[in-house]
Amino acid sequence: MKQIIIAISGFHGVGKSTVSKYISEKYGLKRVSSGELFRRIASERGVSLEELSKIAEKDHSIDKYIDELMRKECSVGGCVGDGLLSGWMLKDIADIKIWLKSPLSVRVRRIAEREGRDYDEVYKETVLREDSEVKRFKEIYGIDVLDLSIYDYVIDTSKLSLEGLYKVADLIIEEYFKLRG
């Protein structure tokens, strides 16, 4: 278990942080979250996520720093990385790559409820942020984040309860170890 590397990817509000925290705690793995790193950088600079996204469109060092940290921290094993690009950043070393998805309206509702914010405001911010990320990652790395062919599993989190999602994650990890012997 200590050597496994798991990548949890997907757009905002799909449950990446929730699932990666669960896996990290249950299986004793280090957790690296690109979203938390991005939020920390925004806070340190005193800007909103939307503003940092605009800055990152011109200053690629922000994304490169986050992505390199993800690769470095997880490359030693015993790690779950979560973020929109974690599947791509850990593509060659991850044992399990999972893409979580959910309709935009569900994701925005989750974010708005979690942060106690207005749905329409979160909708606008989420669409702008995701458009910026899709554009940036294509420009920086040549990655089409909508290409899900690298993932071992694609899971619609709007179709499962939280407990159901945890069961699916456990099943995937347990089956990985059964096959590995």
- Residue 1: the pLDDT is 57
- Residue 57: the pLDDT is 85
pTM of the model: 0.91
> Which residues of the chain fall below pLDDT 70?
1-2, 181
- Residue 148: the pLDDT is 97
Question: Residues 6 or more apart from 51 whose CB is under 8 A from it?
Answer: 42
- Residue 2: the pLDDT is 67
Please count the structural domains in the chain: 1
Burial of residue 78, with CB atoms counted within 10 A of its CB: 0-12 exposed, 13-18 middle, 19 or more buried:
middle
What secondary structure letter does DSSP report for 146?
A: T
What is the CATH number for 102?
Answer: 3.40.50.300
- Residue 56: the pLDDT is 87
Residue range(s) defining the domain that contains residue 66:
5-180
What H or E segment, with its residue span, contains residue 92?
Answer: none
